[in-house]
Structure 1
Amino acid sequence: MARLAAHGKYLLDGAQKFYLRGVSYGPFAPNSRGERYPEPERAAADFALMNRLGANLIRLYVPPPPWMVEEAQKAGLRMMLGIPWPFHMAFLDSRDMMREIRGAIRKTVLETRQFGETIAAYSIGNEIRSDIVRWHGPRAVSRFLAELRELGKQIDPGALFTYSNYPSAEYLDLSFLDFISFNVYLHREEDFRRYLTHLMGQAGELPLVLSETGMDTVREGEQHQAELLSWQCRAAFETGLSGFIVFAFTDEWHTGGSEITDWAFGLTRRDRSPKLAFDAVAKVFGGNLPPTLPAAPKATVVVAAYNAASTLGECLSSIRELNYPNYETIVIDDGSTDSTSEIAGRSGVRAIRVEHNGLAAARNAGVGAASGEIVAFIDADARADRDWLYHLVETIERRDAAAAAGPNFAPAPAFARAAAMTAAPGLPREVRAGDDRLAQLCGCNMAITKAALLKVGGFDPMFATAGDDVDLSWRLAASAETLAYAPGAVVIHERRATLAAYLRQQRGYGAGEGLLFRKYPLRIADQDGIYAGPSWIGSMFGGARVYYGAFGRGLFQTVYAADNSYADLPLTIQWVGLSLILLILGGVNRLLGVLGAGGVALSMLAAAAGAASAPLP
C-alpha cells in the first residue's frame, strides 16, 4: 500500500488510477475505553465485511485510535480522516475558536502522520452551514480553509487534504485542495447525473469524490435503497468521479450525545446483517471501474498532424493504452515536411498522407477513412487519459447525442515561461451551454457519430487553421442534435513553448473567428461565447446573480458571474481600434491625439493588470 497522489483529474496509486470505493463509519457510542468507535473485535469484523463489499476506504468523522488504524491497515483499507470542529457556528467571529480549530488540525495530523500510507486523505471540514458562509463571506471562509490545509501540509507534506462541501455552498472556492469532495443526496437519476456533471466542471483540474450519498430505509424501504445505490454508484464512475462513498456502513449511529434510531442509512443493519443494497453496491465495487459498457460500438480515433514530429509519438503512445475494447487509430499527415509520416508508420497505426490543405480538410480525410460508428478527434500535441475514449462514447450512447467533448488541461509547467503560456488567455476549450450540454465542441478533444458528420456534410474545408470545430458545432445544433459534455474525457494538451509560437496560434484563431464572422454575420456573440466572448455592453445590464434562499440556506445554489465588466472595456477590439484612430488623428488635433494615447495606455494597463492577477500553475 503506497501513498495516494492527486494528478490531473484523478487520484493515483503509483502510476495507476485509484478509485475510492468507500463507506462512512460512525460515530458510535463510546466503547469501554471511551473511544467513539466499537470494541476492537467488532471493528475487525466490520472491516472484514467491508472487504466482502469490495470497499477500499473508510470515511471517519472523528479521529481514530491507533489500534483502529492498524486494524484497517491489516484489512487493506485506507481512511479518509475527518477532523471535527464547530462547522455550524460563526467560527471566524471568535479568535479563541479559530485557535482551537487550528489546534485540532495540528494535533490530528501530528498524531496520525505515522500511518501515512493508510490515511488516504484528511478532511479539514464538513458542510459549513451555508448561512454561516454567507455571514462571514465566501472569500473569508475559503481563506480560512486554505490556511488549515496549509497548516496540515506543513506537518505532513505528502498527505492529501480535502473538504466535504455540499450543494448549498457550492460557490466556495476550494481550488487550493488536493481533491474536491461533495455530499450529494439526489434520488432522481437524471438530476443526479446532471449535477455530478456540473460538479465535475466546477472542480476544474482537480479530482472529484462523492463523499456522501445514501437513502434512509425506514422511510424508503430496503429495495428502493438497493436500486438507488446501484445506479448512483455506476453513474458516479461513468461520469468520471474518483470516488464514491456510501453513507453509511451500518444503521448503528450515535451523534449529538444520542443513539439515532429513527434513521437507517446503513448497508448493514445494527446487527451487521447485510441489506439488499450491500450486494447491489458490491456488484459495482467488485467490477471494472469505470463500469464496462453494455455495448461498445467501434470507434475511430483521428489525429490530424502537420509537422508534429516533436509530439506525435507521445500522442500515439497514449492512444495505444486506451481503456476501450473496439477502436482503430488513423493519422492524417497533412503534407508535413518533417518526420511526421515516419513516426506514424513506426507506431503501427494507419497513416494517410494528403496534400497540405489545412485542418478541416485533414479531418474530413480521417472521417472518410474511418470504419467506426463514432469518430473521435485529438490533436497531435495532446495526450489522452486512459479512459478518454470510454467517457466520450459512454456519454454519446447514454445521452443519444450526436457528439461529446471533454476538457483539455495543460501539462505541469517545468519553468516560469511555460507557466505563463499555460495561464495565457485565448486557449482552446469547449464552451458549455448548461450543466451537461455544450454550445461548442473543442477540436482537440471531441467525438462525433459518423452518421451526424455525414448528415451535416463534415467539416468546412475553408477553416484551414481553426474554427472548424465551432462551425461544425453550430451546424449540428441547427440540425437539432445534442452536443453533450463528457467531463471525465480528459486530454493533456501542450501549450505553445514561446511567445512567438503563442502569437502565431492566436493569429490562426483570429483568422478562424474572422471566417466564422463572414459565414455567420448575424450570429449573436453573447449566445455563443465567440468573437472574444460576451460583450461588455451586455455586462453593463447583467452582473452576478445568486440564488441563495432564505438566510442563505437554499439548496443547489449556483453563482452566475458575468464573464467581463467595465474593466474589460479597454481590451475590446472596438476600444483599441478607436484609440489608434484617435492617435493617428493627433497629427491634426492635439486633443484627439491625447485621447488616443490615453486609450492605448489604458489598454496596456488593463492587460498588465490581467497578467498580474492570473494564477500561475
Structure 2
Amino acid sequence: MSAAPTGRTGAPSVSVVVCVYTEDRWGDILAAVASVCDQSHPALETLLVVDHNPGLLRRLAKAFGDDGAGAHRVRVLPNAGPRGLSAGRNTGIAASSGEVIAFLDDDAVAERDWLLHFAEAYADPRVMAVGGRTQPVWASRRRPAWFPEEFDWVVGCTYRGLPPGRVPVRNVLGGNASFRRTALAAVGGFASGIGRDGHRLPLGCEETELCIRLARAVPDAVLLIDDRSVIHHRVPAARERFGYFRTRAYAEGLSKALVAHIVGAQDGLASERRYTTRVLPAGVARGVRDALLGRPGGAGRAGAIVAGVAAAAGGYVLGTWRARRTGGRFAVASLPAAAPGEGAAA
C-alpha cells in the first residue's frame, strides 16, 4: 500500500480536515485555515466539517464560498453522521480527495512545514499514520505553575514522556495527525460512541482505538510521531483550571476502559503501563524536589499528578463496570477506498 507520487516533490497529496462546532471559535477557525493555506507543502484542499450547527455552516459557506474555488481550495460541509468528532472526521475523510488525510484542531495553527514532514514520512510504503508535536498556547500567556507537563494531554498537547524525533508509536494524537487513505479504507473510520462531543463530557481515545485496529489489520504497518510537524494549540482560560484537569482525567479513564474492553487490556493499556510506572513517578519526584528547593509550583505539580492518576483510575473502574454491563459496543464507519470521483461513492 504505497502512495502514488504527486507533484514536483513526488510526495503524496494531502487533504486537511478541520472539524468545527461553535461560532465562539470563529477567529481560531480562520487562523487554522490560514495556517494550512500557508504550508510549504501545499494541501490539496481544506475541508471544514461543521458539527450540527446550521448557523456556523452558513457563516463559513459565506466566508469561503460554496464551491471550494480559489487558489487555496476550502470546502465547507455538514457532519453527515451523529453529533461528535468521530463522525465529523469520517465525513471529512469520505469527502476528501487526497492520498493522505491530515487532521488539525479548530483552535490550533500549524507551522509552515507541518505537512511537509508528514508527506516525507509516507515515502516508506509501510507508514500508515504520522502524528506531530502539539504545543500549548496558554490563555494566561504562561503555563500554570501547578500544571505538570506529564499531563499536557489533558489540554490536547504533546506531554512529557513521549519520545523525541521521528519514532514509532502505538497511536498518534488526533488533533495533529495524518493517515494514509488506503489504510483507513481497509479498517474503517473513527468509531462513533467514543471520543469527543462538544456538548458532553470531554472524552477521548477515538484515535487510540483506530490505531490499534489499524495495527491489527495491517501487521507490518508503521505508525510514527515526527516532532518536527508542529502545531500550536490554544488553551482557553477554563482549561487552565484544576476542575477541568480533574474532569478531563476522569473522562480519559472512562474512555480507556471502553477501549480496553473492546480491544483487550494488553493493547488498550500497553503505552499507559510505561507512562504510569515510569513517567508519572519521575514527575512526582521532580515536583517534590522543586518544592524542597523552594521553586514555585513543585508541590502543586506533584499533587496534580497524584490527583490526575486518582481521577483517571476512578473513571477507568466505573467505565469498566459500565462496559461489562452494557457490552461496551460502538460503531465503526466504512469508508471509500478511493477519493470521490475515482470510482467510489463519497
SS in 2 for 1:425: helix
Residue 353 in structure 1 maps to residue 78 in structure 2: yes
SS at match of 1:436: strand
The alpha-carbon distance between structure 1 residues 467 and 412, as it changes in their structure 2 partners (threshold 3 A), is closer
- Three-state SS of the structure 2 residue aligned to 1:565 is helix
Is 1:514 aligned to 2:278, yes or no? no
- Which deviates more, 334-343 or 515-524? 334-343
Q: What amino acid is aligned across from residue 469 of structure 1 in structure 2?
A: E
CA distance in 1, matches of 2:282, 2:123: 43
Q: Residues of 2 paired with 1:313 and 1:422: CA distance?
A: 30
Q: Which residue of 1 aligns with 2:314?
A: none
Distance 1:296 1:343, change over 3 A: same
User: Which structure has the greater CA radius of gyration?
Assistant: 1
- Among residues 316, 324, 328, which one is paired with 2:33 in the alignment? 316
Aligned to 1:487: 227
Match for residue 457 of structure 1?
A: 188
Q: CA deviation at 1:343?
A: 3.4
Q: Which residue of 1 is the match for residue 171 of structure 2? A: 440
> Is 1:467 paired with 2:205?
yes
Deviation string, structure 1 residues 125-144 (Cα, Å, up to 9, x no partner): xxxxxxxxxxxxxxxxxxxx
Residues in 2 aligned to 1:383 and 1:450: alpha-carbon distance in whole angstroms:
23
Tell me which amino acid in the other structure corresponds to 2:51. D
Residue by residue over 1:167-191, the C-alpha shift from the partner in whole angstroms, topping out at 9 and shown as x without a partner, is: xxxxxxxxxxxxxxxxxxxxxxxxx
Q: Report 1:390-429 matches (<5 A).
A: 390-398=116-124, 400-411=126-137, 414-415=140-141, 423=149, 425-427=151-153, 428=156, 429=158
Q: List gaps (5 residues or longer) in structure 2.
A: 1-6, 66-73, 197-203, 286-297, 306-346
Between the two proteins, the alignment pairs up a number of residues equal to 260
Change (3 A) 1:437 1:444: same
**Cα displacement (A) at 1:506:** 3.8
Structure 2 equivalent of residue 305 of structure 1 = 20
1:312-391 correspondence to structure 2 within 5 Å: 312-336=29-53, 339=56, 342-343=59-60, 345-348=62-65, 349-354=74-79, 356-391=82-117
Q: Identity of aligned pairs, percent?
A: 24
Superposition pairs of residues 186-335 of structure 1, within 5 angstroms: 294-307=9-22, 309-310=24-25, 311-335=28-52
Partner of 1:494, secondary structure, is strand
Change beyond 3 A, Cα 1:316–1:608: same
CA distance in 2, matches of 1:423, 1:567: 8
In the superposition, relative to structure 1, how do residues 389 and 368 fare at CA in structure 2: closer, same or farther (>3 Å)?
A: same
Q: Evaluate the alpha carbon distance shift between residue 529 and residue 344 of structure 1 in structure 2; reply closer, same or farther with a 3 A threshold.
A: farther
Q: 1:341 to 1:492 in 2, by over 3 A?
A: farther
CA 1:406–1:300 in structure 2 vs 1: closer, same or farther (change >3 Å)? same
**1:83-124 deviation digits (Å, cap 9, x = unpaired):** xxxxxxxxxxxxxxxxxxxxxxxxxxxxxxxxxxxxxxxxxx
1:357 touches 1:464 (CA, 8 Å); kept in 2? Answer: no
Following superposition, the deviation at residue 367 of structure 1 comes to: 0.8
- C-alpha change, 1:422 and 1:372, in structure 2 (3 Å) is farther
Alpha-carbon distance change, 396 to 461 in structure 1, aligned in 2, over 3 angstroms: same
Q: What per-residue deviation string (whole Å, max 9, x for no partner) do you get for residues 423-460 of structure 1?
A: 57251338559962122101011111110001111211
1:488 and 1:330 map into 2 onto residues whose CA distance is: 23
Quick one: distance in 2 between partners of 1:564 and 1:385? 30
Structure 2 partner of 1:76: none
- TM-score for both structures, normalised by structure 2: 0.64
Q: Which amino acid aligns with 1:519?
A: I
Segments of 5+ residues of structure 1 without an aligned counterpart are 1-291, 537-561, 570-605
Q: Aligned-pair RMSD on alpha carbons?
A: 3.5
The answer to whether the 8 Å contact 1:403/1:448 transfers is yes
Kindly state the Cα deviation for residue 328 of structure 1 after the two structures are TM-superposed.
0.4
Greater relative contact order (Cα < 8 A, sep 6+)? 2
Instruction: Evaluate the alpha carbon distance shift between residue 317 and residue 375 of structure 1 in structure 2; reply closer, same or farther with a 3 A threshold.
Output: same
